[in-house]
Structure 1
Amino acid sequence: MAATSFASHSVLRRALIRAFASSPAPPCGISKKFSRCNTLFSLPLSGSLSSSAAGICQLAVPQAIKGDVDGLLREVGDKNTNEAVKQIVELAKRASSRQEVLHTDFLTPPILKESIVVLEKLTDVKAVAQGGYPQAERCRLSVGHPQELKSDPDIVAALSITGNFGFQPCSHGDFLGSILGTGIVREKLGDILLQGEKGAQILIVPELVDFITSTLDKVGNVPVTCRKIPLLALEYKPPRTQTFKTVEPSLRVDAIASAGFKISRTKLVDLIRSGDVRVNWTTVTKGTTTMKTGDIVSVSGKGRLKIGEINPTKKGKFVVELIRYL
């Protein structure tokens, strides 16, 4: 399989999808509870990275390139992010050596940022990030030899989800939960753009468009209709934010998030224990995690906030600027 061309992979993949078009088993990118699909699509047929505990799956790559990958990685401070970047670098080098263009799934901003920093050091690799619109937060990376990657591949699709949300408004979490409830994994889904009473627009991998349009019929308690739309039809507005400052004795996540979301420290600790608190899209398990400028803290059901400027006081405390997304 290692010697099979990318074109052959694509042909095989399309054949498998056609074979399963009438089968109850969903296409690639569906949750692990659909074991038949995951068994058949566990090979890198599209050259893309699938989900794993670290967010990126382990791909078989030539032994010759493994020795120098660690030297390209800079310290990112997060083990999962570091491992994910390493896998992307290996994928990029494999694509370059084979004169192919391969694609990742949607990446979180920290992984995307660190990957681009490392890939820029490789002279034989070109990387193109696409999220569907210029301000996209979650993006896919296309990697390959500069001679092969001459134009932006068509790897992001857009869907419009409409319904009568006038009397039953739905949040970002409502849309995300309903979409993931169909069985797809988070890495196959990009940004979700809320449109108030009209519904939302979402970015997704193209191969799951038909699956979502035929499967997603409700968000919350609101019946919905899904249809594919051109990327140029996306309606994006910068998120509304509220900026304020707090003085804290430490930069621990339980202290900062408690102030940012205006909930008690005890409640925040309980949320951490239940796995509902994430820093830079990674679940934290300890309230002692130290925050720094630029970090993103998200709490399930509460939203997210960004850590702005941090200044120490003469009394040993910290003045922290918090940017709350509304």
Structure 2
Amino acid sequence: MTKDDELLCKRLKELAFNTCNKGFTTYSEFLNLNELNLLLSIKKELPPVEIDLYGGYEGAERKMVCFYQFTNDYDRKFPIHCVRITPRNVKFCDVLTHRDYLGALLNLGIERYTIGDIIIKNKEGYVFCNDKMCNYIIQNLTRIKHTDVRCTQDDDLMMNVAHQFQEIRGTVASVRLDAVLSLAFNGSRSSLSNLITAGKVFVNSRLIESNSYTLKEGDVVSVRGYGKFIYQEQQNQTKKGRYFVVLMKYI
């Protein structure tokens, strides 16, 4: 565990104990998959409080942690807003990538942990951020690469984000993680196995380091640098003993 990991674990414990001892609801900053996995690893060391995870919309990858007491469930509202980023001249705007949006935000001096997911749809960007950063982004983000942009708060999107998926159907020798990764990302089983041992594969936000991990229907698999998919279902076996499976890959 690195020094940063230790500091994060300490911070999460402080938030949980504040909720337990003082009774009020607490929230972390946005956590990435590695950091969410750390939370799972220290769960037994936390006091008896309720835990919820949310990133601004269903299926978000970067999420805040909320610690609360069951009696204060009504008081739970994540401090997350959505900023809509629109080109001022759509006809002449650049084709902006996730990296372009993130780079422009970080160049404003914004810390990464204050920003959640960034979604790109129809030449517009949607940035999920904590409540302290919302107005700052709106007032200061005016240009991304060569494109002039305007920013507005659009929290309605938080209730209406619809993911787009590519359905992948195929057969695998087994429902082991390495075999399903090979189907999902159209690569060799051996090369994708290296991603597992390198600590780049997460199932339901938990780091998985075993190639033989068996997936269950509904599992969400995230692979750093490759993307993520839902292990939708396992259907019939073929005559050769292979398993027919259906995956829903995020696009």
Same fold (TM over 0.5): yes
Mark the CA change 1:173 to 1:269 in structure 2 (over 3 Å): closer, same or farther. farther
Aligned residue for 2:84, secondary structure, equals strand
**Scaled by the length of structure 2, what TM-score is found?**
0.67
Is this contact kept in 2: 1:165–1:222, CA < 8 A?
no
The aligned amino acid for 1:195 is K
Q: 1:298 aligns with which of 203, 223, 227?
A: 223
Deviation at 1:292, TM superposition (A): 0.5
Shift of 1:165: 5.8
Amino acid at match of 1:322: L
Against the structure 1 CA distance between its residues 324 and 173, is the aligned structure 2 distance closer, same or farther, given a 3 Å change threshold? Answer: farther
1:159 to 77, 83, 92: 83
Q: Does 1:308 align with 2:232?
A: yes
**Higher mean displacement: 124-133 or 224-233:** 124-133
CA contact (8 A) 2:66 2:78 kept: no
Aligned residues with identical type, % of pairs: 19
The amino acid that maps onto 1:207 is: K
d(CA) in 2 for partners of 1:304, 1:216: 29
Distance 2:180 2:153 in 1: 40
The within-5 A match list for 1:82-101 is: 87=12, 91-101=15-25
Q: Which amino acid aligns with 2:29?
A: D
Alpha-carbon displacement from aligned partner over 1:79-105 (angstroms, at most 9, x marks no partner): xxxxxxxx46x7334312123331122
Query: Unpaired segments of 5 or more residues in structure 1?
Result: 1-50, 61-86
**Whole-Å separation in 2 of the counterparts to 1:297 and 1:125:** 28
CA distance in 1 between partners of 2:191 and 2:105 (Å): 28
Distance in 2 between residues matched to 1:233 and 1:304, nearest whole Å = 21
1:165-180 superposed matches below 5 A: 168-172=94-98, 174-176=100-102, 178-180=104-106
Matches of 2:182 and 2:90 in 1, distance apart?
Answer: 31
- Cα distance, 1:204 vs structure 2: 0.6
Q: Where do residues 121-136 of structure 1 align in structure 2 (5 Å cutoff)?
A: 125=49, 130-133=54-57, 135=58
The answer for the alignment partner of 1:194 in structure 2 is 120
Separation in structure 1 between the aligned mates of residue 245 and residue 154 of structure 2, nearest angstrom: 41
- Native 8 Å contact 1:131 1:139 kept in 2: yes
> Quick check: 1:279 aligned with 2:230?
no
The answer to whether the 8 Å contact 1:159/1:209 transfers is yes
Structure ranking higher in strand proportion: 2
- Alpha-carbon offset, residue 285 of structure 1: 6.8
1:209-267 residue CA offsets vs partner (Å, 9 max, x unmatched): 35544664554x34343534152365834112122322222445443223212244566
| Paired residues of 1:192 and 1:201 also in contact (CA < 8 A) | yes
Q: What whole-Å deviation, never above 9, does each CA across 1:287-326 have from its counterpart, x for those lacking one?
A: x3535121313352x4322222235736443333211222
- Give the structure 1 partner of residue 147 of structure 2: 223
Q: Residue in 2 aligned with 1:317?
A: 242
Q: Note the C-alpha offset of 1:273.
A: 8.7
TM-score (norm 1): 0.54
Aligned residues: 236
Q: 2 CA distance for matches of 1:268 and 1:181?
A: 34
